[in-house]
Amino acid sequence: MCMKKYFVCFIVLLCVFPLKAQTNPEPCGYMQEVEKILKKQPNFLTWQNAMIQSAMSEYADLQSAKRRIVADTLFYQIPVVFHVLYNDSLNENINISYIYSQLEELNLAFRKMTADTQRIRPVFKDIAADVRIQFVLANKDPDGNPTTGITRTYTTKTTFATNIYGAYNDDMKYTGRGGKSAWNPTRYLNIWTCNMRFPNQVSMTLGFATPPTGAPNWWGNVTKDSTDIESGVVLHYSIVGRDNPLAISNNVEGKTAIHEVGHYLGLRHVWGDGNTQTGCTVDDGIFDTPNSRTRNYSCNKTSPPNSCIDAVNDLPDQTENYMDYSLDGCAAMFTKQQAYLMRYVLNNFRTGLPYREITHDTVFDNTSIEMYPNPLRHGQDLKLQISSPDKKQFTVQIIDISGKQLLRQTVNSNTVEAVSISGLANSVYFVIISDTDNRVLERKKLLIL
């Protein structure tokens, strides 16, 4: 028996999963999700950094051009399905009222309408954002049948956690493994609620979410990430909703779901997931979240932390941010740049997910579109003529009926532009035409014969 081997394993486990997790809940399994993706896609962090940088550079361009930031008139409405998994029907088969109250908390947070915004210190008030993303229970299932947007499934599994250090499996996402398989993850935000308690312990992992991957235009010849069927958010059953009487004392505000949806829409933790030594050199890529050395578990109102001194415009740790660990009692905001990134993810990577509501914008009053021929036959190009007195360029996206973006092209206005559809199968598509600020001008159906 090689004791040395076990000792090494023990040390490795200590490094990966801190011992404190035995007695304290693990707030978020985000880094475990990242580790899983890295095993399949070693370039994931490079891609993620480039994606965030691209969004931030777009944001900076818009700002320098003095255009409106988060510059469109779209509200995004994301259909959500809750998959409730229960072994203990009394507690884990959660009451619908907690699901309703969780959705309400999500919606208030993403509209900056929660009363908790009074927690935001003056230094951050101006950068707190109305993200203008809303969440609704799906009213049609993937087959088009009416639904409540909630599934309830008995499971023989008493927990989906696998050790006392915060690890878990993904069985909750597979019907054949004691869970419930996702509804089409390109069309729904799947949220599983289940038992995540560490085996034979009182603590648990509160939640986790999958970051965006596998975008159609993922570069480097990396194929679509098969983990997409695991895409979504998982919540420990007792912290769903606000004032859930089963929740542990520090998790009664329903903030975990907000934090996890932030990850799902591309946000990283505000401290950048560095350790206490390297923390001030590791950032989340977002400029308006001040650098912080490590996670904060509270906001310490009498002595607020400022764990990294920034060379320019030194600001305290933004413990009000939903992407820190200081959730209950502190968290109350996403920043403008975080909001921009989440909307960027919806426009570029999770494109089929939201319903985009076009609110009338006078900026398009003098704009008209001609698109022809429709139906379109192979060998023909789609022709677009956008007449606009003040806008030189527009973006054309073609998405399929499952919502996947198949083509994205910039076209000039006031001329006839050709869009090549070679490579698209005979089917029905949607053509989305937006301006360079992502304001949707038109969404037209296109038939390719």
Among 21, 25, 26, 30, binds Zn ion (CB under 5 A): 30
Distant-in-sequence, close-in-space partners of 190: CB < 8 Å, separation ≥ 6: 80, 81, 83, 173, 182, 183, 231, 232, 233
CB of 84 to Zn ion, least distance (A): 22
Is 260 catalytic? The answer is yes
Tokens of 390: 């003040």
Q: Pick between residue 171 and residue 273 the one whose CB is nearest to Zn ion.
A: 273
SS3 of 154, please?
strand
Tokens of 3: 């004791």
Catalytic option among 58, 92, 260, 320: 260
Tokens of 369: 């579109």
How many chain residues touch Zn ion (CB under 5 A)? 2
d(CA 134, CA 136): 7
**Maximum CA extent, the chain:** 80
CB of 313 to Zn ion, least distance (A): 26
Among 21, 28, 396, 399, binds Zn ion (CB under 5 A): 28
Is 51 a binding residue for Zn ion by CB under 5 A? The answer is no
Q: Pick between residue 28 and residue 384 the one whose CB is nearest to Zn ion.
A: 28
Cβ burial of 296 (10 Å; 0-12, 13-18, 19+) is buried
Angle at 260 between CA 272 and CA 276, to 5 degrees: 25
The window from 21-29, 168-176, 300-308, 349-357 that contacts Zn ion (CB under 5 A) reads 21-29
Contact 121, 320 (CB under 8 A): yes
d(CA 239, CA 257): 9
By CB under 5 A, the residues from 219 to 258 that bind Zn ion are none
Contact 358, 73 (CB under 8 A): yes
The window from 28-36, 96-104, 187-195, 391-399 that contacts Zn ion (CB under 5 A) reads 28-36
The window from 15-23, 30-38, 273-281, 363-371 that contacts Zn ion (CB under 5 A) reads 30-38
Q: Pick between residue 28 and residue 234 the one whose CB is nearest to Zn ion.
A: 28
CB of 339 to Zn ion, least distance (A): 17
Q: Pick between residue 26 and residue 225 the one whose CB is nearest to Zn ion.
A: 26
Q: Pick between residue 72 and residue 328 the one whose CB is nearest to Zn ion.
A: 328
Which chain residues interact with Zn ion by CB under 5 A? Answer: 28, 30
* Residues identified as active-site: 260
